[in-house]
A and B are shown apart, each in its own frame.
Chain A
C-alpha cells in the first residue's frame, strides 16, 4: 500500500521540480527581454539621453561591423597574449609554490603573514609602479595579470594541500608509503580540485587585470579601446568591447568550472 502511494508522490515532486526549473528559465529570460526593451525604447520616449545609453540594436549593429575588422582581431590578439602569458606564469609559479608552502609548516609561518597582507590588498594598486618598472607595453600587462591571478592559484593550492585528509596519509603510511608516494598519490589528487578553483578565480582576476592595465595606460588592446571610446562617449563602441570581454571571461570561467566538476566527480555533490 505504501509503495503504491509512494510512486505518484515522487512523480509529482519531480514534475514540480521540472515546472519550477522551467519557470525559472522563463522568468529570467523575460527579465532580460524587458531590460532590453526598456533600454531600446526609453531613449526613444525621451526618458533618457540616447547619447549616454545607446540602444541594444545599435550595439548589435556596431558589433556586426566591428568584430570582423582586422583592428578588432589585432586588439584581441594583444589582450589575449597578455592574458595567456600572465596566466601561464601565474600557474607555473603559483602551483609549485603553493605545494611547497602547503607541505612545509615552517615555511608557512614565515610566508603566511606577508602573503595575507598582499592578499588583503587590491593588487591593482601596484599598476602605476609596475608601469614605472616595466613601461606601458606588453610586459607590464603580463605582470598585472600575473599578480592578479597568482595569489588565488597559490593560496588555493596551499589550502588544498593543508586540507588533505590526514587519515588518508596515515592509511598510506601504514602500507609503507614513502614521502614521495604520499605526495604523488595522496596530496596531489586531493589538492587538485582546490587548485582548479584557484585557477578559475585567477582567470576572473586576470581578465580584470588585462582590462584595467590596458585602460590605465597602453597603446593597444581591448582595454585600450574601452578607454578610448569611453572618453569619446561612443557608448555603442564601448559596450561592444565591454560585452565581448565579459563573454570571454564568462566562457573561460565556465570552462574552468567544467574541468573542476570533472575533477571532483568522485566526490558526492554537496
Chain B
C-alpha cells in the first residue's frame, strides 16, 4: 500500500485516488452483475445505465426533468436566500424581532419538515408551487440562523475600534457587522443548498408531474431500475456540483473572516 502511494506525486493523490475509487465502484458493479452475482433486475448495470441515459437525453426526457428540477430548486432556494437573509438582517438590527422569530426557528429545526407536505398540497395544490414551497421551507432556517449568528459574532475588538473612531450604531451595523457576517452567511447558504435539494427531491417524490425526483418515483413504480439509476446519478451530480460551487464561494470569502489568530 505504502509503495503504491509513493508512485503518485503528493499533490495529485486526492484526484488520482478519488477517480480510481469511483472507477473501481463502477467496474465492480459491472462485473458483479455480469457474472450473475448481483441481480440485474435489482441493481441494473453501469453499461445499461449509460445506454438508458443516452436514450433519455436523445428523447429530451432527461433535459426536461433536469430543467424542471433546477428551476424549482432555484426558485425555492432563491426565495429562501432572500427571505432568510433579509429576516436575519432585520432581526440583527432589532433584537425583539429575533425574539419573535425564535420559537418558529426552533420549531423548524426540530420538526421533520416533510410532514408539512400534505398541508402545502391542501393549500397550493399538487405540483410546482408545492415543490417550491417545500424547497423554501427546507432551506430558509439554516440561512437565517447562520446569517444572524454571523451578524452577532462580529469581533468585539473590531466593534470597539470602530467605536473609538466615532462610528454610530448604524455605521457599526452596516460597515462592521454586516461585512463580518459574510463568511457565516455563505456557510449558511451551503447548508441551505443541501437542504433545498432534499426539499426538491422529497416534494417531487411525493407528487409532481416532472423533475428528476418525480422520474425516480415514476420509474420505481414501473420497477425500471435502470432508468431510476439514471435519475439517481443525475441527482448525485447535481449535489456534488452545487456543493463544490458553494465550497469555492466559501473559500473566496474565507479571507474576510475577521480573526486575529488567523
Contact = CB atoms under 8 A, between A and B. Distances in A.
A32 interface: yes
Interface stretch (A39-47, A94-102, A227-235): A227-235
Interface of A: 23-24, 27-28, 31-32, 35, 52, 106, 109-114, 116-118, 120-122, 124-129, 131-133, 204, 207-208, 210-212, 215-216, 223, 226-227, 229-231, 233, 235, 238-239, 241-242, 245-246, 249-250, 253
B117 interface: yes
A23 B95 CA distance: 10
Interface of B: 1-2, 5, 13-14, 17-22, 25, 42, 96, 99-104, 107, 109-119, 121-123, 194, 197-198, 201-202, 205-206, 213, 216-217, 219-220, 223, 225, 228-229, 231-232, 235-236, 238-240, 242-243
Contact of A238 (B1, B119, B216): B119
Given A122-B239, A245-B111, A128 B220 contact: yes
Most A Cβ at <10 Å: residue of B1, B102, B112, B242: B112
Given A113-B14, A126-B232, A246-B111, 12 more contacts: A32-B103, A110-B17, A113-B22, A114-B25, A121-B239, A124-B201, A131-B220, A132-B223, A132-B228, A227-B118, A231-B118, A246-B110
Contact of B122 (A31, A226, A233, A242): A233
Contacts of A226: 115, 118
B202 A212 contact: yes
A109 B13 contact: yes
Contact of B217 (A121, A128, A238): A128
A223 to B, nearest CB: 7
Contacts of B213: 125
Given A28-B103, A124-B201, A133-B42, A208 B117 contact: no
Contacts of A131: 220
A211 B115 contact: yes
A137 to B, nearest CB: 16
Contacts of B22: 113-114, 117
29 contacts: A27-B100, A28-B102, A106-B5, A110-B17, A113-B19, A113-B22, A117-B236, A120-B194, A121-B239, A124-B201, A124-B202, A128-B217, A131-B220, A132-B223, A208-B114, A216-B217, A227-B118, A229-B118, A230-B117, A230-B118, A231-B121, A242-B115, A242-B116, A242-B119, A245-B115, A246-B107, A246-B111, A246-B112, A253-B110
Contacts of A238: 118-119
A246 B114 CA distance: 11
A31 B107 CA distance: 13
Contacts of B201: 122, 124-125
A69 B86 CA distance: 44
Contacts of A227: 118
A77 to B, nearest CB: 18
Nearest to B111: A246
Contacts of B99: 23-24, 27-28, 31
